[in-house]
Structure 1
Amino acid sequence: MNEVFPRGPSLLTRLALVLGFSVIAMFVDTKVESVSTFRAYLTSLVSPLQYIADMPGAVLNWSASRFTSREFLLDENERLTAQITLMSEQLQRFNTLQQENQNLRTLLDAPVQQEMHKMIAELMAVDNNPYSHQIVINKGALENVYAGQAVLDESGILGQVIEVGTTNSRVLLISDVTHAIPARISRNNVTLIVSGIGDVSELSLEHVAHSTDIREGDILISSGLGNVFPQGYPIARVSSIVRDESQPFAQVKAQPLAKLDRIKYLLLLWPKDIAPEEAISNQQVLDGLGAENEE
């Protein structure tokens, strides 16, 4: 008897086919260099859809800002004015210390750290894969964004750019399990490796010897090794240390200083020699604050 609805391949056959195609796709992705270029084209192709998807939220934010009370705006303006005043004082001291540091380096004939230029970027989307901590930002090849570029927020290092499209880019956060960053303890310059464990509120320090001089509360900053993150930027604060002599290494956890779960605006860094014209330097920030103070 002929069936009205003919049966297709069995579930096991379908599973085997899917697994086979997945293995082939992973092999091609790792072995064929042209795949990364094709992925970049796909990212550029999808970017208009991401802007369209982001538009309702932008419209709602714009509408909400229009209905904000006048009293709230006055309080916010007063708070920001006070914050700018405090930052101006700190930047003035920083400028003096920077000059003194340059003089000392000249006396010691030591190389001066390369100045970094900066540009503000905005979050567009968050990867919905729970096992991958990635985000999409609204800057791309048109702004000279490049793979491996350091990304920060106002508190510390967020991650690095891994894919660049025409108008947007994909950023791998430091909390991702595949991410690791060379670091050092600001208190004593001991070098360590800080790795993500898939948790936005916690990082892990790899291969820490029991005798290592590390304490809870120590601040970890980028060491500059690996030529990805410039040295001196904050990464995390040591939160717990377990020294179990039955284990080969101490178990050290740290809390990231960047707000990985509350990302809105980000900061992209360029070395001075490859920075785009739109990026600003520390001196331009100081000059701008100085002009505001004179007014």
Structure 2
Amino acid sequence: MKPIFVRGISNQLRLTLAVVLSIALMLTNTRLEPVRQSLSSLLSPLQYLANVPGMMMDWSAESLATRHMLEKQNKELLRQQLLMSERLQRFEHLRQENDRLRALLGSPIHMDARKMVAEVMEVASDPYHHYVVLNHGSNSGVFVGQPVVDAFGVVGQVIQVSKLTSRVLLVSDASHGLPVRITRNDVRLVANGTGVLDELELKHVAKSTDIRVGDLLVTSGLGKRFPEGYPVARVTAVIRDDGQSYARVMARPLAALDRIRYVLLIWPDDAKKLGNTTESDKTPATETDNKTEVKS
């Protein structure tokens, strides 16, 4: 005769098994990284397949666009092109002047060797992490630590690469820190993510630091990860509380992190110094078979 109440595994035994498994996973975390990369490469075709409906909807929307809408967009693009042409003419003068000043100071000129346009395939659904997945991977020469920007400013950096895709950690992620400087006075600071897409925080800023609302923050070039001079954020608040040791400084990212669709992958001149030897380091940019590649 079977008993009515069957006693299962005790709670103490379950807790012990959970603790043992947790410790085992913590110890083998670094050794599982190749397995994660292999699984990511295997799942890349599924990500492309999941992106097909969105691509078909975009194609349908473009096909159904009216003639009037296309003419309106064409006029707007022409207006923007004229404005950009005028800005480029002024920037060319500033670039030449900057080159002359650098030559007088004996400072080296940093130029990007290669750029590539990439499309966002997936956005992180985890509220505690901010990252996006791009449609280029190691086959295109993408490497871990590579800077990523959009039309307005710095987006983030590549943290994981598979054969066909790559994962980019956004500057707004709470674990991301970026060395920056104020263009007005060259004061160097570190911009940290807060976990909010439209907010960065500059920590450990002395109260006597000359920083104002509206100051533009650009990459300082320190850390040899991001090239110098790319816009990052603009200061939105400076709070100096007598009861605090440091001033509380907040900034708003210039990149459209909540609606990015296309981004730019850049290869700095010192990419080999980042500790990642990629295919792009071995092959000239002119031999890369990619239509979206732009040469500086």
TM over 0.5: yes
Cα shift at 1:256: 0.8
Indicate the residue corresponding to 1:280 in structure 2: 294
Whether the 8 Å contact between 1:183 and 1:221 is mirrored in structure 2 is: yes
Which amino acid is the alignment partner of residue 212 of structure 1? T
Is 1:271–2:285 an aligned residue pair? no
Partners of 2:42 and 2:15 lie apart in 1 by 30
Which amino acid is the alignment partner of residue 199 of structure 1? V
Query: Where does the alignment leave 5 or more consecutive residues of structure 1 unmatched?
Result: 283-295
**Which of 42, 46, 51 lines up with 1:49 in the alignment?**
46
Indicate the residue corresponding to 1:202 in structure 2: 199
**Which of 220, 224, 236 lines up with 2:221 in the alignment?**
224
Whether the 8 Å contact between 2:110 and 2:269 is mirrored in structure 1 is: no
Query: Where does the alignment leave 5 or more consecutive residues of structure 2 unmatched?
Result: 271-280
1:137–1:12 Cα change, 3 Å: farther
Q: Could you report, residue by residue, the CA deviation over 1:221-265 in whole angstroms, capped at 9, with x for unpaired residues?
A: 110001111111111111111111211111111111111111111
Runs in 1 of length 4+ with deviation above 3 angstroms? 3-20, 272-279
Indicate the residue corresponding to 2:123 in structure 1: 126
Greater Cα shift, 144-153 or 51-60? 51-60
Greater Cα shift, 74-83 or 37-46? 37-46
Indicate the residue corresponding to 2:114 in structure 1: 117
1:52–1:218 Cα change, 3 Å: same
Q: Could you report, residue by residue, the CA deviation over 1:22-79 in whole angstroms, capped at 9, with x for unpaired residues?
A: 34323322xx3x4322222121111011111111111111112111111111100111
Is 1:155–2:152 an aligned residue pair? yes
DSSP-derived class of the 2:195 partner: strand
DSSP-derived class of the 2:28 partner: helix
Indicate the residue corresponding to 2:2 in structure 1: 2
**Which of 128, 141, 161 lines up with 2:138 in the alignment?**
141
Write the mapping of 1:1-295 to structure 2, written as runs, cut at 5 A: 1-2=1-2, 8-9=8-9, 13-14=13-14, 17-29=17-29, 32=30, 34-272=31-269, 274=281, 276-277=285-286, 278=288, 279-282=293-296
Whether the 8 Å contact between 1:144 and 1:276 is mirrored in structure 2 is: no
Whether the 8 Å contact between 2:177 and 2:190 is mirrored in structure 1 is: yes
Partners of 1:122 and 1:3 lie apart in 2 by 62
Partners of 2:255 and 2:15 lie apart in 1 by 41
Cα shift at 1:10: 5.4
Aligned residues: 279
1:55–1:11 Cα change, 3 Å: farther
TM-score by length of 2: 0.87
Q: Could you report, residue by residue, the CA deviation over 1:257-278 in whole angstroms, capped at 9, with x for unpaired residues?
A: 1111111111111024747435
DSSP-derived class of the 1:199 partner: coil
Which amino acid is the alignment partner of residue 167 of structure 2? R
Partners of 2:11 and 2:63 lie apart in 1 by 55
Indicate the residue corresponding to 1:291 in structure 2: none
Partners of 1:154 and 1:11 lie apart in 2 by 56
Whether the 8 Å contact between 2:235 and 2:251 is mirrored in structure 1 is: yes
Cα shift at 1:92: 2.4
Whether the 8 Å contact between 2:136 and 2:142 is mirrored in structure 1 is: yes
Cα shift at 1:112: 1.3
Cα shift at 1:101: 2.0
DSSP-derived class of the 2:243 partner: coil
Whether the 8 Å contact between 1:143 and 1:276 is mirrored in structure 2 is: no
DSSP-derived class of the 1:192 partner: strand
Partners of 1:3 and 1:95 lie apart in 2 by 88
1:184–1:268 Cα change, 3 Å: same
Indicate the residue corresponding to 2:278 in structure 1: none
Cα shift at 1:16: 5.2
